[in-house]
């Protein structure tokens, strides 16, 4: 082989990229002195975009396919400089491969709690986190705005900046949504969609898009969650009087199973009952209702009247409209009987005076 043949054999004639890293976004094809042989084969696979850079400027952007690097197939090459020898010598240019597939399962979250005003709890602090997917939509813009001359650019180099953008956008979305804190879980899908739409303009400035963004969790600070759990527990318990009664009965049952510890258990039961009585006195709903009183029907002038309470009967007796011989009836009696024979009315009727002594 001649010296010229050996020289040209050193030049790269096949340009391609097989990505096995799963996190590389941009990769620059390595070559000695940036020299690419005229007529070389360029293979761009699905999910890739190739960018020619000549003297620091983007010369062409190529999608998936196989290309032969000559002026007939790529007219843009004719604008490149230093083409002596009838376009048959190597030319100098850089080739960047951009990975246009989706980068999935990327994490985002709020490093510090977000302040917001809730209609039920007032001022509260919230934390949130989720996942998102990322994709390059404008390779040349992404190269100009983010990559620059980096020969190996991965997702980790930009994920921190994107997380900050998402967290800032989430703070604005959640503050303007007006959704109560207890109802946020029911709106996770809508919040994720709306957040992705609101950030689309910012990502487009970098040549990127977020096809899917999810909100996985929105949580309160631990102290607030503990207070909320106590409030929930009170709602589950319901009637505190019945709850303490049940607790006392359970303690007595446990004490009966352990006679040796009955004394100590008795002290605990007494304290529990006392506490239950004290708690019951503080809640009006736990006070027992008043005992029911009997109501009587009264026979006045041969006609039934009533029912009357005992206070009504006292007024009738005081007015002289009723005496011990007046017939009365109430629920539970089989027939009408004189009022003087009813124990409940004994204190209402006046005591009978004795008849006069015989002469």
pLDDT tens per residue, range 232-243 = 776 666 666 666
Regarding predicted confidence, which is higher, 144 or 59? 144
Furthest C-alpha separation in the chain: 174
Residue 140 confidence class, pLDDT cut points 50, 70, 90: very high
In what order do the strands lie in the sheet containing 94-99?
57-62, 48-54, 94-99, 24-28, 152-154
Report the run of H or E that residue 132 belongs to, with start and end: strand 122-136
- How far is it, in rounded angstroms, from Cα 116 to Cα 130? 19
Contact call for residues 159 and 180 (beta carbons, < 8 A): no
Angle between helices 188-204 and 156-177 (to 10 degrees): 130
pLDDT per position as a tens digit, 163-207:
999 999 998 898 888 888 888 889 999 999 999 999 999 999 999
For the chain, percent of residues with pLDDT exceeding 70:
73
Quick check: 19 and 99 in contact, CB under 8 A? yes
Q: Give alpha helix (H) positions in 57-155.
A: 84-87, 139-142
pTM confidence score: 0.58
CA separation for the pair 293, 309 (Å, rounded): 8
Range among 27-36, 51-60, 144-153 with highest mean pLDDT value: 144-153
Distance, in Å, from the CA atom of 221 to the CA atom of 123, rounded to the nearest integer, reads 12
d(C-alpha 188, C-alpha 211), whole Å: 16
Indicate if the pLDDT at residue 76 is higher than 60: no
- Check the CA dihedral 26-32-33-38 and report its sign: negative
H or E, element range at 306: strand 303-308
Looking at the chain, how many residues does it have? 359
pLDDT band of residue 34 (cuts 50, 70, 90) is low
d(CA 49, CA 83) in angstroms, rounded, equals 25
Token output for 66: 């196989």
Looking at mean pLDDT, say which of 47-56, 95-104, 174-183 comes out highest.
95-104
Confirm if 269 and 241 have CB atoms less than 8 A apart.
no
């Amino acid at each position: 082989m001649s010296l010229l043949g050996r020289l040209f054999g050193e030049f790269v004639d096949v340009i391609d990229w097989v990505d096995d890293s799963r996190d590389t976004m941009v990769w620059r094809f390595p070559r000695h002195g940036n020299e690419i042989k005229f007529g070389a084969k360029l293979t761009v696979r699905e999910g890739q975009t190739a960018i020619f850079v000549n003297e620091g400027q983007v010369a062409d952007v190529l999608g998936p396919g196989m290309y032969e690097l000559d002026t007939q197939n790529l007219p843009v090459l004719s604008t490149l400089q230093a083409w002596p020898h009838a376009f048959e010598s190597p030319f100098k240019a850089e080739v960047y491969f951009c990975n246009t597939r989706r980068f999935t399962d990327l994490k985002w979250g709020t490093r510090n709690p977000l302040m917001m005003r809730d209609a039920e709890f007032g001022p509260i602090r919230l934390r949130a986190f989720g996942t998102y997917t990322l994709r390059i939509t404008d390779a040349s813009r992404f190269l100009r705005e983010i990559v620059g001359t980096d020969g190996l650019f991965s997702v980790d180099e930009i994920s921190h900046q994107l997380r900050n953008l998402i967290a800032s956008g989430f703070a604005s979305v959640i503050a303007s949504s007006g959704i109560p804190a207890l109802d946020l879980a029911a709106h996770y899908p809508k919040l994720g969609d709306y957040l992705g739409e609101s950030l689309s303009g910012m990502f487009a400035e970098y040549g990127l898009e977020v096809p899917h963004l999810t909100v996985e969790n929105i949580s309160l600070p631990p102290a607030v969650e503990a207070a909320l759990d106590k409030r929930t527990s009170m709602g589950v318990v319901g009637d505190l009087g019945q709850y303490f009664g049940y607790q006392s009965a359970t303690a007595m049952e446990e004490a009966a199973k352990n006679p040796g510890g009955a004394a100590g258990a008795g002290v605990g039961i007494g304290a529990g009952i006392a506490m239950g009585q004290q708690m019951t006195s503080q809640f009006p709903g736990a006070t027992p209702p008043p005992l029911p009183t009997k109501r009587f029907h009264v026979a006045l002038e041969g006609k039934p009247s009533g029912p009357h309470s005992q206070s009504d009967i006292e007024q009738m007796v005081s007015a002289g409209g009723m005496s011990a011989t007046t017939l009365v009836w109430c629920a539970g009696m089989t027939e009408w009987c004189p009022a003087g024979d009813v124990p409940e009315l004994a204190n209402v009727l006046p005591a009978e005076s004795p008849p006069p002594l015989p002469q």
